[in-house]
Amino acid sequence: MTLAKQRWRLSLWLTAIVTTIYFSLLVLIAYNKPLLGNLLVLGLSLRISLGAMVIVALWILIFPYRANNYYNLKSQSHEDEW
């Protein structure tokens, strides 16, 4: 499989995962507001903590180790061949 196909496949998987996580939170907010209003600790509701977890999860998925290291090394080795 070529490097371009591998990168394209990874980008499609990441897009699907990010979209699923984001829309799952939106559906939960839309259909179960009372659950998300529960306080975990004083001043911190479940809604705020889930929103923060989504942001962190998406940040981790956007900058995966494999994409930043593996594909950069592969593309450098292809440049050396040219």
User: In this structure, is residue 56 part of a structural domain?
Assistant: yes
Nearest to 9 by CA among 53, 80, 58, 64: 64
Instruction: Examine the pLDDT at 1 and tell me if it is beyond 80.
Output: no
Rounded Cα distance, 82 and 78, in Å = 7
User: In this structure, is residue 81 part of a structural domain?
Assistant: no
Task: Report which of residues 13 and 72 the model is more confident about.
Answer: 13
| Continuous segment of H or E residues that includes residue 68 | none
Q: In the numeric block, which tokens belong to residue 8?
A: 């394209």
User: In this structure, is residue 64 part of a structural domain?
Assistant: yes
Total number of domains constituting the chain = 1
User: In this structure, is residue 55 part of a structural domain?
Assistant: yes
pLDDT, tens digit, for every residue of 35-67?
888 999 998 999 899 989 988 888 887 766 666
Task: Report which of residues 43 and 3 the model is more confident about.
Answer: 43
In sequence order, what are the beta bridge partners of 14? Answer: none
Average pLDDT over every residue of 63-75 = 66
Rounded Cα distance, 40 and 62, in Å = 28
Whether the model pTM is above 0.85: no
User: In this structure, is residue 82 part of a structural domain?
Assistant: no
Tell me the backbone φ, ψ of residue 71, rounded to 5 degrees.
-75, -30
Range of the domain at 55: 3-75
